[in-house]
């Protein structure tokens, strides 16, 4: 397995361009199942997870190619298989996003249950309850969800106890081809859902309530192929802003959407970092001593849980006490033990981590446990004295396009060692 080697203490300067958002690209790729024909997706990042989703689409009989201009052309004319196999689904929980579209178009689906995940149990009960409300006959057997629809899906009002991102996306996609109107109450409001709504409307869907917690979908008999440009990745953006806070210096992040990061930018300013924003760039500079801030993760537009681990790394070097409350996932502190190995002073108290920041961090061999935890270790390593070796970096490859190149280009001393396969 590959490792990253980072020499801490180098300040950053220069420009980092942001790639398309993983969590917008995955539902958009699944949405191509809804309509036969050639869909065009611009700015899809080349990541392990997007490659997995493309393999899944191929397993259904869908074909694709990347155009010279980088756009993905996806031909969903033929679908001759409705089963999402365990060996693909176990590597990416977001595979559940094919369930709604397959049921809507093919009236049948057999999708492996995703199985466990490092950051929490992450059940899919909201997805299943809501699909049943739309008329799906669901059974669970041998680790697979089997769904059948007699006739067409029928619109209904569904309510989510928690504004689940992928459950909202799954039901939204299914409802576009249902008979009648579907109302989704307590819907998630992440920008990636807005991007999916833009794609679905471009395919002929009728959807009201974009960016709100109530979506109203008037179903239609069929949709046409879509064309969409994937929005910039707000979590990648936040990660590089936090990396600069940690390493020191000043960088400009380009091709990004500052308006998608209201909570993080407020916290970075609260930590004493200088932030200037334009329509598609953010300039950040560390010009004075950092200050500790408290954070509490919550659904958008609250503080993103996907930036919690990386922010904790910054708080480790910010003098003072920082209370970090994780309200979304029950086990998203796997990075704490690794940060402690680097000298961090962190105590866990239930769903909160208490960080006593300001003591120096030291380079150490550490292990990535999940996607954002591995990003947290990179952020910490940039500030640490000496060399940090991060193992299991395949976690990073799921969500960061060319992280080593982007950080090297702004002065970080970071390299990747590929282990020879025997
Ligand atoms: C999406 O996951 C993201 N993934 C996650 O990003 C992100 O952390 C999460 O939303 C929260 O923002 C994608 O968009 C592909 P949820 P999702 O359903 O949809 C519970 C990353 O790093 N829940 O909003 O799976 C769940 O356990 C990944 O890119 C149920 O109980 O998250 C969690 O506690 C990690 N039953 C809470 O709701 C359900 O049926 C919110 O989860 C569904 C969810």
Q: Can you list the residues of the chain whose pLDDT is less than 70? A: 116, 420-422
CA angle 80-82-87, nearest 5°? 115
pLDDT value at residue 376: 98
Ligand 1 pocket, residues with Cβ under 6 angstroms: 22-23, 26, 94, 120, 122-127, 162, 164-167, 188, 305-306, 328-329, 371-372, 399
The residue whose CA has the least distance to atom 4 of ligand 1 is 23
Query: Which domains are assigned to the chain?
Result: 3-19+232-417 (3.65.10.10), 22-229 (3.65.10.10)
388 near 8, Cβ under 8 Å? yes
Give the residue among 344, 324, 322 at the shortest CA–CA distance from 388: 344
- Distance of CA 77 from the midpoint of ligand 1 (Å): 30
pLDDT at 118: 78
Q: Say how many Å lie between the CA of residue 165 and the centre of ligand 1.
A: 6
Confidence (pLDDT) at 138: 95
pLDDT the model gives residue 120: 82
301: preceding bond cis by omega (within 30 degrees): yes
Residue nearest to atom 7 of ligand 1 (CA): 306
What local confidence, expressed as pLDDT, does residue 421 receive? 61
* pTM for this prediction: 0.97
State the Cα–Cα distance between residues 213 and 123, nearest whole angstrom: 21
| Spacing of C-alpha 313 from chain mean position | 19
* 70/293 Cα distance (integer angstroms): 40
130's tokens: 């809501």
What letter does residue 385 receive in the DSSP assignment?
A: B
Distance in Å, CA 299 to ligand 1 centroid: 10
Active site residues: 117
Q: What is the pLDDT of residue 65?
A: 98
Query: Probe ligand 1: pick from 164, 238, 395, max atoms within 8 Å of CB?
Result: 164
């Amino acid at each position: 397995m590959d490792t990253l080697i980072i020499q801490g203490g180098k300040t950053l300067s220069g420009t980092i361009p942001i790639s398309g958002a993983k969590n917008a690209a995955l539902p958009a790729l699944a949405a191509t199942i809804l309509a036969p024909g050639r869909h065009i997706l611009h700015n899809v990042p080349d990541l392990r997870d997007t490659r997995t989703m493309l393999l899944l689409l191929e397993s259904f009989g869908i074909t694709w190619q990347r155009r010279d201009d980088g756009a993905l052309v996806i031909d969903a004319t033929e679908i001759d298989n409705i089963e999402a196999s365990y060996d693909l689904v176990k590597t990416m929980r977001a595979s559940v996003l094919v369930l709604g579209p397959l049921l809507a178009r093919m009236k049948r689906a057999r999708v492996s249950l995703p199985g466990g995940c490092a950051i929490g149990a992450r059940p899919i009960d909201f997805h299943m309850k809501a699909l049943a409300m739309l008329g799906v006959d669901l059974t669970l057997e041998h680790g697979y969800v089997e769904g059948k629809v007699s006739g067409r899906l029928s619109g209904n009002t569904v309510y989510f106890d928690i504004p689940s991102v992928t459950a909202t996306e799954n039901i939204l996609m299914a409802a576009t081809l249902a008979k009648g109107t579907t109302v989704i109450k307590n819907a998630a409001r992440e920008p990636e859902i807005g991007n999916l709504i833009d794609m679905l409307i471009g395919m002929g869907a009728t959807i009201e309530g974009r960016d709100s917690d109530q979506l109203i979908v008037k179903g239609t008999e069929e949709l046409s192929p879509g064309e969409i440009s994937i929005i910039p990745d707000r979590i990648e953006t936040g990660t590089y802003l936090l990396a600069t806070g940690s390493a020191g210096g000043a960088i400009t992040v380009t091709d990004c959407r500052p308006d998608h990061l209201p909570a993080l930018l407020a916290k970075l300013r609260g930590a004493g970092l200088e932030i200037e924003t334009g329509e598609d760039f953010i300039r950040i500079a560390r010009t004075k001593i950092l200050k500790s801030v408290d954070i509490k993760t919550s659904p958008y537009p609250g503080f993103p849980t996907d930036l919690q681990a990386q922010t904790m790394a910054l708080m480790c070097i910010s003098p003072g006490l920082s209370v970090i409350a994780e309200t979304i996932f029950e086990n998203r502190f796997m990075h704490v033990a690794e940060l402690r190995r680097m000298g961090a002073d962190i105590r866990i108290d239930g769903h909160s981590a208490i960080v006593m920041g300001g003591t120096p961090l030291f380079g150490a061999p550490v292990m990535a446990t999940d996607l954002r935890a591995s990003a947290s270790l990179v952020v910490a390593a940039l500030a640490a004295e000496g060399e940090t070796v991060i193992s299991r970096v395949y976690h990073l490859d799921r969500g960061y396009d060319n992280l080593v190149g982007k950080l090297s280009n702004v002065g970080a001393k970071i390299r990747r060692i590929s282990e020879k396969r025997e």
